[in-house]
Amino acid sequence: MTQQEKMIKHKQSINDLRYIEISNMSARAKIALQGAHVFHYERVDEKPLLWLSKKSFFEKGKAIRGGIPVCWPWFGKHPTNSELPQHGFARSSVWELLEAEEIDGHTTKVLLQLQPSAESLQLWPHKFELLLAIIVGRTLTLALTTRNCDTQPFEITAALHSYLAVENIEKVYVEGLADKSFFDKVTGENRTQQGKLTVCQEVDRVYRKVDYPLTLHDQARTLHVDAQGSSTAVVWNPWIEKCVAMADMKDDSYKTMLCIEAANAPGDACMLTPREEHTLTSVISSDQEIL
Ligand code: TA6
C-alpha cells in the first residue's frame, strides 16, 4: 500500500453512504459523497472541531446532522415555494469526486463536483457547475464555487453551515459581531448586536456586513471562522424545545454545538451572469496548540 493510499481511503460506507476518510500528520477528516459533506474534522491530539449528532441519519436523500452541510442554491426556505426542500438540494445530492491528493504530509486536498440532473432541473431550472474544494490540514478550508453554465443569469444564496463543537453552550461567547445589524429569525425583528454574543436561548440570526474572522471562545480553546466571498454570517442554536422536537438530535444536543456559518444569505445573494462564477470560502481553525 502506498503512503497516499494510507492517507486517503475511499469508499467506506455507512448505511450505503460512501465517504472518504483522510488522515495526515496534522488532522483527520471524513467526507460523505452525498452532500460533499465534511462530517468529521479533528486535528491530531485535539478534540473534534466539528460537532456531529449521535442520532444523525446517514441515509440516502437526508442531510447529515452536524459537520458542514452545503446549503445551495438557496439558503433556508425557498423564497417563493415553501414545498421545496429547505436549504436547497446540494446537501442531499450525490457529488462526484474529482480529485483527492496529498499536497504534503500535513495537507490533503479533495475536490468534489455537482452538476445538473433531471431531479435538480425540476427543483431549480438552471445549468450550473458547483465545485467544493476541501483542504484538510492544521486548518479546514472549504471553497464552494458556483459557475453559471446557462444562457440566462441566475441568483443563488448559500451557506457552509458549520456545526462547531463546544463543551458547554452556556459558557461560550462569540466575538466579532458587536454593533452588527442582524435579522432575528426567532422574533422576526431586525436588531443590532450589543457586545459579544452569548447563548442562553434559541438563537437563529443572520448577521449583515460581517467582518471576518469570527471567534468562538469555548472553555479550553478558541475556534475561528474566517470567510471570503461572504458578507453575511448565520449563528444558530436550536435550544431546548426545538432540539427535543428534532428526530436526529438527542434532547440535550443543543448544549454541545453552535453553528457559525459563512453565508451568502438573503440580502447577500449572488447574481451570476452566464459563465460568471462566485466562490464562498470558509476556513475553520483552532488556537489550541497541537501537542
Ligand atoms: O442556519 C440556521 C437554520 O437555517 C435554522 O433556521 C435551522 O432550521 C437550521 O438551519 C437547520 O435547518 P435544517 O433544515 O438542517 O433542519
* Banded model confidence at residue 10, pLDDT cuts 50, 70, 90: confident
Catalytic one among 40, 161, 202, 224?
161
Q: Which atom of ligand 1 is nearest to the CA of 86?
A: 14
DSSP, residue by residue, 67-113: SB-EEBSSSSS-SS-TTSPTTBSGGGSBPEEEEEEEEETTEEEEEEE
- CA 181 to ligand 1 center in whole angstroms: 20
Q: What is the mean pLDDT of residues 155-181?
A: 98
Q: Establish whether residue 202 lines the binding site of ligand 1, counting it when its CB lies within 6 angstroms of any ligand atom.
A: no
106 is catalytic: no
- CA 286 to ligand 1 center in whole angstroms: 24
Q: Is the pTM of this model over 0.85?
A: yes
Tens of pLDDT, residues 116-153: 999 999 999 999 999 999 999 999 999 999 999 999 99
Tens of pLDDT, residues 217-252: 999 999 999 999 999 999 999 999 999 999 999 999
Calpha distance 35→89 (Å, rounded): 8
Cross-strand pairs, 43? 27
Tens of pLDDT, residues 84-121: 999 999 999 999 999 999 999 999 999 999 999 999 99
Tens of pLDDT, residues 25-76: 999 999 999 999 999 999 999 999 999 999 999 999 999 999 999 999 999 9
pLDDT exceeds cutoff 90 at 7: no
Calpha distance 24→279 (Å, rounded): 26
Cis peptide before 116 (omega within 30 of 0): no
pLDDT exceeds cutoff 80 at 78: yes
pLDDT exceeds cutoff 80 at 6: no
Is the Cβ–Cβ distance between 230 and 268 less than 8 Å?
yes
pLDDT exceeds cutoff 90 at 263: yes
Q: What is the DSSP pairing of strand 222-228 with strand 270-272?
A: unpaired
Q: Establish whether residue 76 lines the binding site of ligand 1, counting it when its CB lies within 6 angstroms of any ligand atom.
A: yes
Q: Establish whether residue 161 lines the binding site of ligand 1, counting it when its CB lies within 6 angstroms of any ligand atom.
A: yes
Is the Cβ–Cβ distance between 144 and 37 less than 8 Å?
no
Calpha distance 291→118 (Å, rounded): 49
* Rg of the chain (C-alpha set): 18
Per-residue confidence (pLDDT) for residue 5, from 0 to 100: 53
Mutation test residue for ligand 1: of 207, 236, 241, 259, the one with most atoms within 8 Å of CB: 236
Q: Which atom of ligand 1 is nearest to the CA of 234?
A: 1
Please, is 125 exposed, middle or buried when counting C-beta atoms within 10 Å of its C-beta (0-12, 13-18, 19+)? exposed
